Copies of this chain bind each other. A is one copy, B any other.
């Protein structure tokens, strides 16, 4: 199951509004459950370098079915997943990427945001997620 275009655009629009409220300029990406890009918007004056980070955050969140920041906790020096960022053509493991889980507990995609502090990135991603789903997957086994 995949996030629909309509949902992806609704998530991006809600995220964009939050970004405006926070007086930030963001790149906002939505990928489907196969980690393939579904929709993307770069606000005017957002960092060019955030394009790839927003997309990679969304991909990372769907790759492992969890918020990107959770992976980052485990990938620090000495952590159990140190260096995981070298996989999958590059992961981004700090906050700003959230899985999109539908009402039946199915992972249907993810949203990734980049352009400000990670706190703001996370807030904007959460605002986008809120209108289309939640980010908590049920305990394994969950379905894709």
Total copies of the chain:
4
- Are A64 and B83 interface neighbours, CB within 8 A? no
Q: Are B118 and A80 in contact (CB under 8 A)?
A: yes
With CB as the reference atom, state the residue of chain B lying closest to A36.
Answer: B48
- A-side residues, CB < 8 A to B, are 1-2, 4-5, 8-9, 23-25, 32-45, 47-53, 56, 60, 62-65, 72, 75-78, 80-94, 117-118, 140-144
Which residue of B has the minimal Cβ distance to A65? B47
**Which of B44, B47, B140 is within 8 Å of A45, CB to CB?**
B140
- Residue in B25, B39, B88 whose CB lies within 8 Å of A140: B25
9 closest A-B pairs by beta carbon, nearest first, are: A34-B34, A49-B63, A40-B40, A86-B90, A85-B86, A83-B85, A52-B88, A80-B118, A53-B87
